[in-house]
């Protein structure tokens, strides 16, 4: 017992202490080095975008040197994408976590959902162009639209929400499920009244992260919503968005348009940070 106590109270060797402090300093140093490009980008956008930030930017369309129509278009398409992806994503996550998690169908759904997270956004844009834009042009006499853009964003948001929901539901203690079953609750009642309320904060985090990704996507909207200099007529017409505005006008020689790009970049960055930081 005395030998064990002696071993426990043996002080840490100076060499081990030195290595520990050295590794800590190295980790901090590499973190700072990794943050330098991010800080540089942030400073560049803030310094160039802030001087042009005026109230007029949020009241006039692009054709009148504002970007209000792009803000409205982005919010519209993200809302459409959210309406499609959130219910389906949460339902998929519930199925993966709560209903026969070892079945073949469950494993297939999980595999396809995981694969979807790695599909490049431009591929999603091409798929939506073929499945929505071309079909709607033949059947309903409209092509590029906010609807098509929202569908493409919804496809990109869906796997994030589904996989986040699945992992969060797995963290809810089984004791809660067993207690609910012991009191006579059905599986549906257990999920809706016990499991989901406990997992709701973390599910909300996954939804916010998915929305943040949808707001910043550019490639899918090039193939689905296209662009518009003025206000969109309706949901079935080409619609402006902040990422496409930045993409289209970045090389414009007009100083006013160039300033518009930097200010729109600053606003888009601010929106994404506001969504990501609480999440």
Please give the pLDDT value at position 139. 82
Instruction: Quickly list DSSP for 251-275.
Output: T---HHHHHHHHHHHHHHHHHHHHH
User: Per-residue pLDDT for the chain (279 aa), expressed as one digit of tens each?
Assistant: 445 444 555 566 778 888 888 899 999 999 999 899 888 888 989 988 888 888 888 888 988 888 999 999 999 999 999 999 999 999 999 998 888 777 888 888 889 998 988 889 999 999 999 999 998 888 887 788 999 999 999 999 999 999 999 999 988 888 888 888 888 878 888 888 888 888 898 899 899 999 999 998 899 999 999 888 889 888 899 999 999 999 988 888 888 888 899 999 999 988 888 887 776
Residues 201, 190 contacting (CB under 8 angstroms):
no
Alpha-carbon distance of 125 to 128, in angstroms, equals: 5
Residue 238's closest CA among 117, 77, 94? Answer: 77
For the entire predicted model, the pTM comes to 0.84
The domain spans of the chain are 14-49, 53-276
Q: What is the 3-state secondary structure (H, E, C) of 163-223?
A: HHHHHHHHHCCHHHHHHHHHCCCCHHHHHHHHHHHHHHHHHHHHHHHHHHHHHHCCHHHHH
Distance CA 181, CA 190 (A): 7
Q: Give the CATH fold of the 53-276 domain.
A: MetI-like fold (1.10.3720)
**pLDDT on residue 80:** 95
C-alpha 206: how far from chain center: 8
């Amino acid at each position: 017992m005395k030998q064990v106590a002696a071993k426990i109270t043996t002080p840490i060797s100076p060499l081990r202490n030195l290595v520990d402090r050295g590794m800590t300093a190295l980790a901090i140093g590499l973190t700072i080095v990794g943050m330098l490009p991010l800080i540089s980008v942030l400073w560049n956008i803030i310094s160039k975008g802030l001087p042009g930030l005026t109230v007029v930017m949020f009241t006039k369309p692009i054709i009148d040197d504002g970007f209000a129509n792009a803000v409205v278009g982005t919010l519209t398409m993200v809302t459409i994408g959210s309406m499609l992806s959130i219910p389906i994503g949460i339902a998929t996550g519930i199925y993966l976590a709560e209903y026969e998690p070892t079945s073949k169908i469950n494993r297939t759904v999980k595999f396809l959902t995981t694969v979807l997270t790695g599909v490049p956004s431009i591929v999603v844009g091409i798929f939506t162009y073929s499945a929505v834009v071309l079909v709607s042009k033949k059947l309903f006499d409209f092509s590029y639209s906010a609807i098509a853009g929202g569908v493409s964003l919804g496809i990109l948001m869906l796997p994030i929400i589904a996989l986040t929901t699945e992992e969060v539901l797995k963290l809810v203690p089984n004791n809660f499920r067993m207690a609910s079953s012991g009191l006579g609750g059905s599986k549906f009642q257990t999920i809706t009244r016990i499991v989901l309320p406990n997992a709701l904060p973390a599910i909300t985090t996954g939804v916010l992260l998915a929305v943040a990704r949808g707001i910043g996507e550019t490639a899918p909207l090039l193939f689905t919503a296209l662009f518009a200099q003025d206000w969109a007529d309706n949901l079935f017409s080409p619609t402006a968005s902040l990422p496409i505005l930045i993409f289209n006008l970045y090389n414009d020689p007009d100083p006013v348009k160039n300033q518009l790009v930097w200010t729109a970049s600053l606003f888009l960055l601010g929106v994404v940070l506001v969504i990501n930081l609480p999440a």
